[in-house]
Amino acid sequence: MPDRKNLEGSRARQRMYGALRGHFARLGYEEVETPILVPAPGMEPHITAFEVPFVPETDAGQRRTLYLHTSPEYAMKRLLADGAGRIFQIARVFRNGEVSRHHNPEFTLLELYRPGADYGAIMEDLEGALSACDAAVGGQGFFARTPYERLTVRDAVLREAGIDLRQCREGEALREAAIRAGVRVGGARRFDDVFFHLFLQKVEATLGRERPTFLVEYPASMAALSRLKPGDPEVAERVELYAGGVELANGFSELTDAVEQRRRLVSEQEERRAAGRPVYPLDERFLEAVGRMPPSAGIAVGLDRVLMLLKGAGAIDEVLLFPAREFV
């Protein structure tokens, strides 16, 4: 049974949702809903989707595997391609195996997209939204400390580890520099894998201490679904938001090149296969839509973590009525 603290957190959650809806309505966003059950989930190499067997009761369908979505991203980008304009969604999403102080396998994402904009504009929209949440929930004013810090990945790594990523473009060079800086890299040799160890051990905990921090300009190999920065293809227009050393959001100036998007997803399929993870099918409807999308920016925000910080909670369980720890 939920205790009083969790019930108070639930009431605060509804105030937070109200503040978000009011803020985005004022900015001209429209709220949408997309399916939770999908034919293809996100392909991120370190995320595992819940598989759901579809068993038709008549001859009209075929038995197949579907998935609980890990994000509403693919569907919302199809809406963008069809001219939906500014859209947002407060969505329940699912990621298998994620249970920790900051993780629950079922959680809530705020996802928003703004056509005709880059990730600088979406950062400003999110600043205003989180400031409104702070006021509505009665937080400590941390999220009202606007403008939030903008810090490049290169500057963050240089500041905290003394390593210039532009001088360590290959995995072996970064590995050697990381070891000299005291980072435990294990058997990692690929650039992205070494960077992961370096970032977690030296950088992440330092971000967003005085005010929230937007970490921007990720190495191009970590572009995910973002475009490369015009005039500087070594970095991608990708942003993550941090507060108190906790990652809250991940966003992009969106990639609108369908050929490049397919190449990246196929590469992620191979990465998943090599790691022994399930390899998901490509979402062909999404790939078709990517080439029709207008220049856009989008970001996804973990609202349970935001609420946790607003309420001064020590773990995500404290802001959930029925956390997964009750049954796993």
pLDDT at 61: 72
| 100 CB burial (10 A radius; 0-12, 13-18, 19+) | exposed
pLDDT at 17: 98
Q: Which backbone phi and psi does 110 adopt, to 5 degrees? A: -95, 125
Global pTM value: 0.94
How far is it, in rounded angstroms, from Cα 12 to Cα 116?
A: 33
pLDDT at 139: 85
3-state secondary structure labels for all residues of the chain: CCCHHHHHHHHHHHHHHHHHHHHHHHCCCEECCCCCEECCCCCCCCCCCCEEEECCCCCCCCCEEEEECCCCHHHHHHHHHCCCCCEEEEEEEECCCCCECCECCEEEEEEEEEECCCHHHHHHHHHHHHHHHHHHHCCCCHHHCCCCEEEEHHHHHHHHHCCCHHHCCCHHHHHHHHHHCCCCCCCCCCHHHHHHHHHHHHHHHHCCCCCCEEEEEEEHHHCCCECEECCEEEEEEEEEEEECCEEEEEEEEECCCHHHHHHHHHHHHHHHHHCCCCCCCCCHHHHHHHCCCCCEEEEEEEHHHHHHHHCCCCCHHHHCCCCHHHCC
CATH superfamily for domain 4-148+278-326? Bira Bifunctional Protein; Domain 2 (3.30.930.10)
pLDDT at 2: 59
pLDDT at 149: 97
Nearest to 109 by CA among 73, 151, 58: 73
One digit per residue, pLDDT tens: the chain, 328 residues?
Answer: 556 668 888 999 999 999 999 999 999 999 999 999 999 999 998 899 999 999 988 776 788 999 999 999 999 999 999 999 999 999 999 999 989 999 999 999 999 999 999 999 999 999 999 999 999 999 889 999 999 999 999 999 999 999 999 999 999 999 999 999 999 999 999 999 999 999 999 999 999 999 999 999 999 999 989 999 999 999 999 999 999 999 999 999 999 999 999 999 999 999 999 999 999 999 999 999 999 999 999 999 999 999 999 999 999 999 999 998 888 7
Q: Report pLDDT digits (tens) over 140-190.
A: 899 999 999 999 999 999 999 999 999 999 999 999 999 999 999 999 999
